[in-house]
Amino acid sequence: MSLKERITEDMKAAMRAKDAERLGTIRLLTAAMKQKEVDERIELDDAAVVGIVDKLIKQRKDSIEAFQKAARQDLADKEAAEVTVLQAYLPARLSADEVAAEVKAIVAELGASGPGDMGKVMGAAKQRLAGKAEMGQVSAAVKAVLSGG
């Protein structure tokens, strides 16, 4: 079963269970998926769906931060609940050590050295680690490796 099919099945299950919060989050995800399919006239594969889920989670985390600064814990909690639902659709994440090892391998393959090669290394890392690691963590690892760390 593809990730897209699993999301559709989960939406049906949430409808049957009358789980309004979960249903709302899944509908938001399916809307984002349909939007991308219509805009780009493509059929999404699992990697593309993971990219959309990652993007939605990042948006939620940014919102949580903003709501906490504004002392709106009720809204921050709602966003955190959405993050929990969305994270169920992500593959297992790599640990910090695994990310660092992958980044070192990419740097060695590309023969990169120094901060000037950051863009080249990040491009390769995004392709290889998409969905497997948070890009903020990957970026930090690339900076550390390129600065001699």
Q: What residue type is assigned to position 146 of the chain? A: L
CATH of 96-146, one of 1.10.3470, 1.10.357, 1.10.260, 1.10.10: 1.10.10
Phi, psi of 133 (to 5 degrees): -150, 155
In this predicted model, what pLDDT tens digit does every residue of 96-134 receive, in sequence order? 788 888 888 887 777 767 777 778 778 878 777 776 777
Task: Give the predicted TM-score (pTM) of the model.
Answer: 0.72
Calculate the alpha carbon distances from 38 to 6, 43, 49, 64, 131 in Å.
20, 9, 14, 29, 22
Q: Give the homologous superfamily in CATH for domain 3-87.
A: Uncharacterised protein YqeY/AIM41, N-terminal domain (1.10.1510.10)
In this predicted model, what pLDDT tens digit does every residue of 79-101 receive, in sequence order? 999 999 998 888 877 777 888 88
Name the residue ranges covered by the structural domains of the chain. Answer: 3-87, 96-146
